[in-house]
Amino acid sequence: MRWDNLVENPATAGETALFGTSAVTTRTFDTPEFRGITFHEVRARSILNRVPGASRMPFEWTVNPYRGCSHACVYCFARKTHSYLDLDTGLGFDSQIVVKINAPDLLRRQLASRQWHGAHVAMGTNVDCYQRAEGRYRLMPGIISALRDRANPFSILTKGTLILRDLDLLVQAAAVTDVGISVSVGFIDETLWRTVEPGTPAPERRLDVVRTLTDHGIGCGVLMAPVIPFLGDRPDQLRATVKAIAASGATSVTPLVLHLRPGAREWFMAWVAEHHPHLVRRYERLYAEGAYAPKWYQRRITRHVHELAAEFGIGPADRGMPRRIRTPEAAVEEAVAPTQLTLL
């Protein structure tokens, strides 16, 4: 493994080694929850990560306490980042998890630096910071506390219901700074969920998170991602999903069609070949031009979801949002060539 290459972005690979080989401790836990997962504990040298090409993104800085994600979404395009460590981008991405155990202390120190001017910090933009590992390592309470104590604005995008463990901290932070929470729910089809997002909480449980956050005065949007062509894009599926999102009290819904960047593409297509072999040719045709579905397809889905959102009374983003709360997802749509967002 190339631990000296553990950098946040491929654009900076080789420039900023975050820690050396000697800093890695490898552990496994023999509990059902963590069986088959290997954790690589590291002490990071830096935790605030500047996003390359930030002008296209709704944020400039990110904090990512983990690498790899046991939520194991087949389509996850953060898979590619595991290859920079010489780790496998398929099962290895799901089961070899890098944990930056000093993330809270380091963040507190970096936020206190004179060079730091309180920019918005986005989390959950690479892998899910509320994946299962967080239940054991509990890095997010320290991270949120550090941001709260500096009144530093931040946002979190997640599929993890574990975020509710930190509800009190989020409420405290939202009282002193801008906090945006988005939950990712691309569909509510249970069969599709079990096969394509096998390590995640059920979509309905994620919508419970939206409901709870909203009940506590924290406006929460839904990133409806990914909308999966041929499997999750039927009108009745879109309708059921948007209806459920509306019922959760989400402040906004932002659709994002599946994209298949290198690393994710191979893994996803192998999954299609195994579970839906009759769709292989159709996917090859739809993604013939590269990582993205054609514009006409993306526009069709976006228009349809927006019509449903209007029908069910959601959005537009920001309407009715509580003061001091903002969501990052409206801008995500513009950044539809995201190099940082993983369709969480």
Please say which residue, 272 or 308, places its beta carbon nearer to ligand SF4: 272
**Least distance (Å) from ligand SF4 to the CB of residue 109?**
26
72 touches ligand SF4 by CB under 6 A: yes
Q: What is the C-alpha R_g of the chain?
A: 19
In terms of Cβ atoms closer than 10 Å to its own Cβ (0-12, 13-18, 19+), residue 22 is exposed
Please say which residue, 143 or 308, places its beta carbon nearer to ligand SF4: 143
What is the distance between the alpha carbons of residues 109 and 107, in angstroms, rounded to a whole number?
5
Bridge partners, residue 155, by sequence: 122, 180
CB-facing half-sphere around the CA of 288: CA atoms within 13 A = 4
How far are the Cα atoms of 31, 94, 298 from residue 88, in angstroms, in the given order? 23, 9, 30
**Least distance (Å) from ligand SF4 to the CB of residue 150?**
26
Query: Which range touches ligand SF4 (CB under 6 A), out of 67-75, 145-153, 214-222, 240-248?
Result: 67-75
Burial code of 276-287, b = ≥16 C-beta within 10 A, e = fewer?
eeebeeebeebb
**Least distance (Å) from ligand SF4 to the CB of residue 342?**
4
Q: What is the footprint of ligand SF4 within residues 101-120 (CB under 6 A)?
A: none
Among 7, 73, 231, 246, binds ligand SF4 (CB under 6 A): 73
**Least distance (Å) from ligand SF4 to the CB of residue 344?**
4
67 membership: H or E segment, kind and range: strand 66-67
Please say which residue, 18 or 127, places its beta carbon nearer to ligand SF4: 127
Count residues binding ligand SF4 (CB under 6 A): 14
Nearest to 222 by CA among 245, 201, 243: 245
42 membership: H or E segment, kind and range: strand 38-42
302 touches ligand SF4 by CB under 6 A: no
185 touches ligand SF4 by CB under 6 A: no
Q: Is the peptide bond before 52 cis (omega within 30 degrees of 0)?
A: no
183 touches ligand SF4 by CB under 6 A: no
209 touches ligand SF4 by CB under 6 A: no
User: Per-residue x/- mask for ligand SF4, residues 128 to 167, rule CB under 6 A?
Assistant: x--x---------------------------x--------
State the residues that interact with ligand SF4 by CB under 6 A.
69, 71-73, 76, 78, 127-128, 131, 159, 200, 342-344
